Amino acid sequence: MNVPETNRSDALLTVSGLVKRFPARNGRTVHAVEDVSFEIRRGTTVGLVGESGSGKTTAGRTLLRLIEPTEGQAIFDGVDIFALPEKQMRAYRQRMQIIFQDPFSSLNPRMRVEAIIGEALDACNFPKGERRKARIGELLTLVGLQPEHGRRFPHEFSGGQRQRIGIARALAVEPEFVVADEPVSALDVSVQAQVLNLLSDLQQRLGLTLLFIAHDLSVVEYLCDEVVVMYLGRIMERGPARAVYGSPRHPYTKALLATAPVPDPTRKRTRVPLQGDIPSPIDPPSGCVFRTRCPHAIDACAQTVPQAEHIGENHHVACIRQSELAVAS
């Protein structure tokens, strides 16, 4: 278990040694998240990226205890929320919220928008009556909708508008920390930009701390201060977005960045093709989980699980060959 240095006192959430294993058939175990540690400073946005099956969504859900973690600590504002009994956790629920990927299944189709947001207001004991009506209008305006939209049902809105309603619901309880679980990947590209701008705008205006889960690296680059790259439940590389994007040190990060489309037809692409699919988390490879697809894998990679190495500027890489590869390139 590697604990990130906690010299920065402005960390809102410090995750250390987070493990989530699910029981599978025949007594086997799905290793969804293994030994994940990182911290999120107040008012910043951290991007959590990885392919499907990398455990990023599970990690995000466990931080809110929507899924119970198997092991680990999550110090939120000085308190280990993983150790709290559910009753005491309730008090923390409204300080942390979530925005979902699918704008269709994240809103109850039988409830009017005002009832959906009203449920969130109930959660923070907001009084009923005129003030509540005004507050719902205010929240809808905040996310770029009109107060009259409160009378409508979710199916009367487009995907982008529904996502805005989901954001309004999350913000209704005035949370400090918001997990955005791929909030734009289900939307049309033209709408994606609008919702991203809204999120970034709201984050600045409300001083939110954001964990932004995505598989699209360009989206994360645009929005995030720091990036955490996950693969098969483990962190491969993390650090300031500038450092990770500018000088990726882990072979997996390099491969991901190489496959990300860049709107520049003249740019030469350095192909680092990833072969095959992500292995099953039921029986993950020994040692470095990425070694089966890594172009630089050597025998030693199968022996030990690489520990995160600090290579400066809060930039961490989990690869036993990172220093020799850095010299070679």
- The residue among 145 and 244 lying less far from another protein, judged by its C-beta, is 145
By the 8 A CB rule, do 202 and 142 touch? yes
Question: x/- string (CB under 8 A) for another protein, residues 151-170?
Answer: --xxxx---------x--xx
Which of 54, 97, 192, 322 contacts another protein by CB under 8 A?
Answer: 97
Window 228-257: residues binding another protein (CB under 8 A): none
Closest distance to another protein from the beta carbon of 167 (Å): 11
| The token pair that represents 244 in the structure block | 């990770």
- Give the burial class of 159: count Cβ atoms within 10 A of its Cβ; 0-12 exposed, 13-18 middle, 19 or more buried: middle
Which of 19, 84, 123, 325 contacts another protein by CB under 8 A?
Answer: 123
- The residue among 103 and 251 lying less far from another protein, judged by its C-beta, is 103
Residues with Cβ within 8 Å of 110's Cβ and at least 6 positions away in sequence, in order, are 153
By the 8 A CB rule, do 251 and 238 touch? no
Window 41-80: residues binding another protein (CB under 8 A): 61, 64, 66
Q: Is 120 in the site for another protein (CB under 8 A)?
A: yes
Which of 82, 100, 212, 290 contacts another protein by CB under 8 A?
Answer: 100
Report the C-alpha gap between 187 and 178 in whole angstroms.
Answer: 19
Q: Is 101 in the site for another protein (CB under 8 A)?
A: yes
Q: What's the alpha-carbon Rg for the chain, to the nearest Å?
A: 21
Q: Which amino acid is at 217?
A: L
State how far the alpha carbon of 59 is from the alpha carbons of 29, 223, 225, 236, 267, in Å: 17, 20, 19, 14, 35
Q: Is 107 in the site for another protein (CB under 8 A)?
A: yes
> Binding segment for another protein among 120-128, 266-274, 283-291, 316-324 (CB under 8 A)?
120-128
Question: x/- string (CB under 8 A) for another protein, residues 256-295?
Answer: ----------------------------------------
Report the C-alpha gap between 318 and 251 in whole angstroms.
Answer: 10
Beta bridge partners of 46: 211, 226
Q: Is 117 in the site for another protein (CB under 8 A)?
A: no
| The token pair that represents 163 in the structure block | 């996502």
Residues with Cβ within 8 Å of 247's Cβ and at least 6 positions away in sequence, in order, are none
Locus of tokens 């913000």: 171
Q: Is 309 in the site for another protein (CB under 8 A)?
A: no
- The residue among 120 and 318 lying less far from another protein, judged by its C-beta, is 120
Window 168-207: residues binding another protein (CB under 8 A): 169-170, 173
Report the C-alpha gap between 242 and 202 in whole angstroms.
Answer: 22
| The token pair that represents 72 in the structure block | 């680990």
Closest distance to another protein from the beta carbon of 30 (Å): 16
Query: How many residues of this chain bind another protein (CB under 8 A)?
Result: 32
Query: Which residues of this chain interact with another protein, rule CB under 8 A?
Result: 61, 64, 66, 89-90, 93-94, 96-98, 100-102, 105-111, 119-120, 122-123, 153-156, 166, 169-170, 173
